[in-house]
A and B are shown apart, each in its own frame.
Chain A
Amino acid sequence: KQEVTQIPAALSVPEGENLVLNCSFTDSAIYNLQWFRQDPGKGLTSLLLIQSSQREQTSGRLNASLDKSSGRSTLYIAASQPGDSATYLCAVRQGSGSARQLTFGSGTQLTVLP
């Protein structure tokens, strides 16, 4: 059974700092990996999706990398801003079986201090 772990559970940084969020997964036979953002009381918003054949994806100040062989992904946020404060979740979609469902990590709660 796939397990997804995100460490740390919470992170607090001063505004302007570059930071890295980590995600690890136990089964490397994934179809893709996604990073989501969740604001308090809100649903999830997809930030980046990396296909299994890709190494990284970029969107603005965000860069996500994927290393399938080691079962790791990182989300890099450049020049952090208070508006980046949210919980970031990583989710993997399995490549095998007929039900390609998402398995989520428990998230990293990020606080960017002004």
Chain B
Amino acid sequence: NAGVTQTPKFQVLKTGQSMTLQCAQDMNHNSMYWYRQDPGMGLRLIYYSASEGTTDKGEVPNGYNVSRLNKREFSLRLESAAPSQTSVYFCASSPTSSAWATSTDTQYFGPGTRLTVL
């Protein structure tokens, strides 16, 4: 049981390049999330998927797209990377859909992808 896995662990891009961050979970969770973490700030939600086939914007969605490929996989795409997107990206999953979360529903996080855009 690997939990939440993310690839790659590190990536360096030039401004304008595109890339996709991959995330997979093997816990049969319904909801999945993408966050970014910047120095001195808490994690901020980029996009989330409450269930297979649905995605919704979070707090900072501009410059990103997502795909919930199936129940296990949720990818984050940067179409034209900018230096402001330099950050650590975390994927997370939780058992229930976010709209119907129980009061004990918790999120499980992957190890993160450290992205630098030059």
Contact = CB atoms under 8 A, between A and B. Distances in A.
B56 interface: yes
B101 A4 contact: no
A113 interface: no
A102 B40 contact: no
Contacts of A89: 42-43
Interface residues of A, number: 28
Interface stretch (B12-20, B72-80, B105-113): B105-113
**Range, interface on chain B:** 20 to 34
* Residue with the highest number of chain A CB atoms closer than 10 Å, among B40, B43, B104, B112: B43
Interface string A86-108: 00010101000011111111110
A100 B112 contact: no
A11 to B, nearest CB: 15
B90 A101 contact: no
A51 interface: yes
A43 B2 CA distance: 13
B110 A31 contact: no
Contacts of A98: 98-99
A41 B111 contact: yes
Contacts of A49: 104, 106
A99 B43 contact: no
Contacts of A34: 106
B45 A102 contact: yes
Interface of A: 4, 9, 31-32, 34, 41-46, 49, 51-53, 89, 91, 93, 98-107
